[in-house]
Amino acid sequence: MLSRRNPQLNSHGELIHLLSTEGLPRAVLTQILDTASTFLAVGERDIKKVPLLRGKSVFNLFFENSTRTRTTFEIAAKRLSADVINLDIARSSTAKGESLLDTIANLSAMQADMFVVRHSESGAPYLIAQHCAPHVHVVNAGDGRHAHPTQGLLDMYTIRHFKKDFTNLTVALVGDIVHSRVARSDIHALSTLGVPEIRAVGPKTLVPDNLRDMGVRVCRDMAEGIRDADVIIMLRLQNERMGGALLPSAGEFFKHYGLTEEKLALARPDAIVMHPGPINRGVEIDSSVADGRHSVILPQVTFGIAVRMAVMSILAGNDA
């Protein structure tokens, strides 16, 4: 049965859906990160497969475009030996007027075991989790401006890999936070894992003041925001989600909030620079930084496959 307190957990506190990092206990977050460590070596084998999801069907339901996330989920599921079905949303029944829940009911009748869902509407994966068959697990691959939990988890894995311990870090998130589901997922996970100083850096139009209610330090000045930071997470300007002109120009944004070598020098000497991608070079980050020695952007992508393998394997092992 679903927990009334958290629809992601069963009555034993085990993960049955991954919908958000918000509300997940530290033990569950740590379990995912630890499990991902065991899968990292699979990518280095000649035969990059383990049989944990053999006979299971994973449906990728991407109602919103994403190459990187969909591809890494597909690779992760195939490495777990699952059968992967990519639904062509542009030609699917939902494009012909069928409701989301009717689509889910029909796919469940095809013996689906797991839905990986990306949707432009916040809350869509929750709705699916409430109405799918009890044996089906739902993974949120990004919903509206709400959450992107596997990106948050792979960010946590990256931080732990390079920094080992969360409890003495200063982490700065820079850029378009108001539209960023990644930022929300990161903030919830960082808080749960014990990071003492979380900063949100950007202009007032892109960084809401109410983040202070979550224990986040809001900084309008870039120098203040990244000074002595251990981790800097740069965020993409999501122009497609902006209802109006929230910035004078991309050039003006880069001048004040773009990460350059000069600004990076304010952070700790061993600081790491992260980015969920896709990168807009010369808008939020300079190429010399994106490709420089502090950047761990490409390792993030590699870690993302292991993290998504971990999530799917844990879900498949737990009953509602």
Q: Does 317 belong to an annotated binding site?
A: no
- Of 231, 277, 296, 284, which Cα lies nearest the Cα of 260? 284
Q: Does 181 belong to an annotated binding site?
A: yes
Q: Does 151 belong to an annotated binding site?
A: yes
Q: Does 199 belong to an annotated binding site?
A: no
Q: Does 236 belong to an annotated binding site?
A: yes
DSSP string, 129-198: HHHS-TT-EEEEEEETTTB-HHHHHHHHHHHHHHHS-STT-EEEEES--TT-HHHHHHHHHHHHTT-SEE
Q: Order the strands of the 272-274 sheet from edge to edge.
A: 217-219, 197-201, 170-174, 231-234, 272-274
DSSP string, the chain: -B-SS-TTBBTTS-BS-B--STT--HHHHHHHHHHHHHHHGGGGSSS---STTTT-EEEEEESS--HHHHHHHHHHHHHTT-EEEE--GGGSGGGGT--HHHHHHHHHTTT--EEEEEESSTTHHHHHHHHS-TT-EEEEEEETTTB-HHHHHHHHHHHHHHHS-STT-EEEEES--TT-HHHHHHHHHHHHTT-SEEEEES-TTTS-GGGGGGTPEEESSHHHHHTT-SEEEE----GGG-SS--SS-HHHHHHHH-B-HHHHTTS-TT-EEE--S---BTTTB-HHHHTSTTB-HHHHHHHHHHHHHHHHHHHHT---
Q: Does 131 belong to an annotated binding site?
A: no
Q: Does 184 belong to an annotated binding site?
A: no
Q: Does 277 belong to an annotated binding site?
A: yes
Q: Does 164 belong to an annotated binding site?
A: no
The annotation places the binding site for carbamoyl phosphate at 68-69, 118, 148, 151, 277-278
The annotation places the binding site at 68-69, 96, 118, 148, 151, 181, 236, 277-278
The annotation places the binding site for L-aspartate at 96, 181, 236
